[in-house]
Amino acid sequence: MFKSLPLIVRIGAYLLLSILALSILLPFAWMIATALKTTAEISQSPFSLPATPNFGVFAEAWLQGDFTRLYLNSLGITAIAVTGIVACCSAAGYALAHFEFRAKEALFLYFLAGMMIPPQVILVPSFKIMATLGLVNSYWSVILTYFAWVPFAIFFFRAYFAGIPRELAEAARVEGISEWDIYLRVMLPLASPAMATVAIVYFIWIFNDFMWPLVYLNDQSLRTVTLGMMAFQGSHAALMNLKVAALLVATAPPLIIFLIFRRQIQSGLVEGALKA
């Protein structure tokens, strides 16, 4: 993309990108160096490299923070929520893209309007609903709330399915294939890039979410990674290296997922935008 630009423009673009990359990488480098240093080294020279790296601090942070339980809770909630969102929203997006029915556009605008409402606005009514259902302080209160995070996924799937020619479904109907089989055997395989993109984006969103677990989950055994980090920082306020090590442990999964699947996310978002 840059090859057709003048040399001075390319140099400026690469310089800007290098500055942006350093602004992202330097904080992580500082966190790693801080975690590997002793408390005395941090207070004396906070920006220096550790004299003798202490890699055991990560194991200590894992054990003291009970990250095994925290990860099981977060991954369980995230897996169920993401699976439900992908399954329901892919079906809804297909119906809105390929079926004709009354109030179709109004229904789509209703879902689209949900993208404009901040989650904080529905905090109180959501809590009252979950309290009435007796689901507060349970995993299902958080999972069902995440099921309401569907506007973006429905919008994305509708745009993606709208780009798939309807002639494919018509040909399958001529062969006597049912609508359910058309959706499962014809449309979903074609929409696998969209499904992967939505799953990865929602995994990162839900795994990193702090507000809804804080609202619903009171028992320590139900805490997610984000809630566990809040409690960990409060109980280890004086141990900077241990806190930073715990923070690195907590941020590792979404960062790894993003680095591994970043190309799928980019290609899926670009393809979905072009189809829209």
pLDDT tier at 143, thresholds 50, 70, 90: very high
The mean pLDDT of 191-213, rounded to a whole number, is 90
Pairwise pLDDT comparison (92 vs 2), residue with the higher score: 92
Contact 195, 188 (CB under 8 A): yes
Q: What is the pLDDT of residue 267?
A: 64
Q: What is the pLDDT of residue 253?
A: 80
pLDDT tier at 43, thresholds 50, 70, 90: confident
The mean pLDDT of 94-122, rounded to a whole number, is 87
Contact 211, 98 (CB under 8 A): no
pLDDT tier at 82, thresholds 50, 70, 90: very high
Q: Could you state, in order of their start, the residue ranges of all structural domains in the chain?
A: 1-54, 55-275
Contact 188, 160 (CB under 8 A): no
Q: List the one residue out of 183, 194, 186, 185 whose CA is nearest residue 160.
A: 194
Tokens of 108: 């789509």
Q: What is the CATH number of domain 55-275?
A: 1.10.3720.10
Q: List the one residue out of 228, 267, 231, 263 whose CA is nearest residue 249.
A: 228
Rounded distance, CA 209 to CA 212, Å? 7
Coil, helix or strand at residue 102: coil
Angle at 99 between CA 107 and CA 158, to 5 degrees: 60
Report which DSSP code applies to 116: G
| Alpha carbon 254 to chain centroid, angstroms | 7
Mutual angle of helices 151-162 and 104-113, in 10-degree steps: 140
Q: How far is CA 207 from CA 92, 193, 213, 233, in A?
A: 24, 21, 10, 19
Alpha carbons within 13 A on the beta-carbon side of 247: 20
Tokens of 149: 């995070």
Q: List the one residue out of 255, 272, 266 whose CA is nearest residue 204.
A: 255
Tokens of 76: 């369980």
Q: How far is CA 79 from CA 74, 82, 196, 205, in A?
A: 8, 5, 13, 12
Contact 77, 142 (CB under 8 A): yes
Q: What is the pLDDT of residue 73?
A: 95
